[in-house]
Chains A and B, each alone.
Chain A
């Protein structure tokens, strides 16, 4: 009997230990995820430029990549990065963030970026907007994605809303995809393209500030908006 009690106690202690370890581990993981998003130059599907070329060259030399070293992050580069991450015990997301860049031996790329433009570029805005589009309008046609990005940008320019892209996207109670964490999903190629098109001036909504899905919208207030047009599943309004 004593032996039995001892055995179960040990079992229980091990069990508790596992539970205790579980929680902090998860927090660290999400923290890493965020730093990788906020990194100065994260390379992902659709990225172009010298850093992509460097990464492709390295991946090619190590036999992960068989495409052309053209400085364009496409499907082949994406698969190569995933294979590289898989073999090297990194989180497999097909994105060259700080950890993957370090494993590839290319941290100098970050320093090089800072030199010429002193870190001024638009890629952080682009990526945040693309994440918002991906979270909010994944199943929509292309123009519906551009429209969602355009609404965010119209809000930035409007006095009734915060004056930065991040301010608008993270405004409490504004976007459901932000509240339920879908914004942290990795954006696909179309979302990134849509975000870029919107940043470059395309606005299929003609200045709209709101959109809602008639099937799921719960707020009565939203129906009192001026209705402009319907794109995909969303109504857009002012």
Chain B
């Protein structure tokens, strides 16, 4: 063979080798991809079967609770239902279904768990289930039965379909498979069937963190009169200091702003000596034109003042803005500033729901953050209970070995209610805790753990 003949072979053989390499590489990719797909599919299948099992348990548990006649049995049943409903809710939220389809079902499960927790508390207080609560339980039972039936129908139908069909097109991996066949979309359809049923049942009336009444709470601490955008803008400028504002810009509002938790106008205030990107933000309530919150995101240089000095600045600021009798509780130091939690006091009672937060920059002592939304949400004229048990009696209920450092009267939020308590702050073993004991019946209402570090205190 001569040289020329050989050269004819070089290009094709290199190309075919490259092709071979590409095929091997491609196959490798395909192999890895299908491995991932199977792993993910298995995970989804597991979640689906778990959801089904948990919903079944919820349904059976509720039926038993309707039969059970003793409080002890009910408490056990409710705690099981609570954990099963929570698990079902958690796992349903991990399935690849869009939120729109799953929202009401998740809400139903969360509230079922929350409602059971509420009933456990009622039972522990010695109360029986009222006819209304029984009816609510029956409704919950019916809804979970309907959910269970849908899940069962789905299980029968799923035979050889998989979640990944739906996911592939849903997540935009390219929809080469038919989306209709996907278990995910079948589940979505079932959930839509269910939504109709769930939304027809009356809302649960109870006191818990996830109750509708908590979500739809309206501020009680704001005046009734409505202010216009111009008045609110003037209030914002005055709040920040008329001579310091160069320009104001209002945020665009949507048509439903009246349905927000606290309907408000929001402004950008451009201070005199700052760059335009570093505006100060402020929210002003439509009711009464009160400033709800303020945030000044300017960069903060090295600390020049101490936390104690900063606290003085914060107290003066609050006085100037019309908040009297506020005491600072805990502080948290971060990003060059220090955040103080101020709460209201009346008749020597610390009122925790009336909370105002103030953030002070440690370089100049300027107030760079203010948040009174909690205050306006909760503040009202209150009638306080007169303690029926003495401090000594309350202290005697504490665990042995709990060393009390300080005692005071405090009003704490408990769901929708506010409870007057003795506040015992102290150490147990090596950790610091606050224990709240009800002044009427000596019940332990709440325990908080305090975590200190050099930046301040967090409560858990």
Contact = CB atoms under 8 A, between A and B. Distances in A.
A142 interface: yes
A117 to B, nearest CB: 5
A102 interface: no
Contact of B335 (A11, A162, A174, A196): A196
A227 B32 contact: no
A159 interface: yes
Among B209, B215, B254, which residue has the most Cβ atoms of chain A within 10 A? B254
B332 A230 contact: no
A193 B297 contact: yes
B281 A204 contact: yes
Interface string A88-129: 000000000000000000000000000011101110000000
Given A160-B104, A162-B90, A200-B357, A173 B99 contact: yes
B171 interface: yes
A12 B254 contact: no
Given A16-B21, A122-B458, A230-B254, A171 B94 contact: yes
A18 to B, nearest CB: 10
Contacts of B283: 204, 206
A12 B335 contact: no
B430 to A, nearest CB: 8
B111 interface: yes
Interface stretch (A30-38, A45-53, A57-65): A45-53
Interface stretch (B65-73, B132-140, B346-354, B448-456): B448-456
Contacts of B449: 120
Contacts of A157: 209
A206 B260 contact: yes
B1 interface: yes
B110 A163 contact: yes
A160 B107 contact: yes
Contact of B259 (A141, A159, A219, A238): A238
B363 to A, nearest CB: 12
B170 A159 contact: no
A15 B114 CA distance: 60
B256 A174 contact: no
Contact of B93 (A118, A171, A219): A171
B24 A19 contact: yes
Q: How large is the interface on A (under 10, 10 to 19, 20 to 34, 35 or more residues)?
A: 35 or more
B28 A23 contact: yes
A3 B168 CA distance: 48
B50 to A, nearest CB: 15
Contact of A8 (B13, B107, B295, B302): B13
A197 B254 contact: no
A25 interface: no
Given A159-B114, A172-B96, A230 B107 contact: no
A171 B266 CA distance: 30
Contacts of A228: 253-254, 256-257, 259-260
A157 B261 CA distance: 14
A238 B260 contact: yes
A167 B451 CA distance: 25
B17 A12 contact: yes
Given A8-B17, A23-B28, A204-B283, A143 B357 contact: no
A174 B98 CA distance: 7
Contact of A229 (B6, B170, B257, B371): B257
Contacts of B93: 161-162, 167, 171
B335 A46 contact: yes
B107 A159 contact: yes
A167 B371 contact: no
Contact of A120 (B110, B336, B460): B460
A19 B454 contact: no
Interface string A66-77: 000011100000
B25 interface: yes
Interface in B324-383: 332-336, 339, 357, 369, 371, 373-374
Contacts of A20: 28
Contacts of B460: 120
Interface string A152-176: 0000011111110001001111100
B28 A158 contact: no
Interface string B100-137: 10011011001100100000000000000000000000
A8 B21 CA distance: 12
Nearest to B24: A16
A170 B432 CA distance: 34
Nearest to A50: B454
Contacts of B95: 172
A20 B10 CA distance: 25
Contact of B1 (A1, A16, A46): A1
B263 interface: yes
Interface in B1-47: 1, 6, 9-10, 13-14, 17, 20-21, 24-25, 28, 32
Q: Which 10 A-B pairs have the closest CB atoms?
A: A227-B254, A207-B261, A226-B256, A159-B110, A206-B260, A230-B252, A159-B210, A142-B297, A162-B93, A172-B96
12 contacts: A12-B17, A48-B334, A48-B454, A48-B455, A157-B209, A160-B107, A171-B93, A202-B295, A202-B371, A207-B260, A228-B254, A237-B256
Given A46-B335, A50-B454, A228-B259, 13 more contacts: A48-B334, A143-B281, A159-B107, A159-B215, A161-B93, A167-B94, A192-B335, A197-B369, A201-B357, A204-B295, A227-B254, A237-B254, A238-B260
Interface of B: 1, 6, 9-10, 13-14, 17, 20-21, 24-25, 28, 32, 86, 89-90, 93-100, 103-104, 106-107, 110-111, 114, 170-171, 209-210, 215, 251-257, 259-264, 266, 277, 279, 281, 283, 293, 295, 297, 302, 332-336, 339, 357, 369, 371, 373-374, 430-431, 449, 451-455, 458, 460
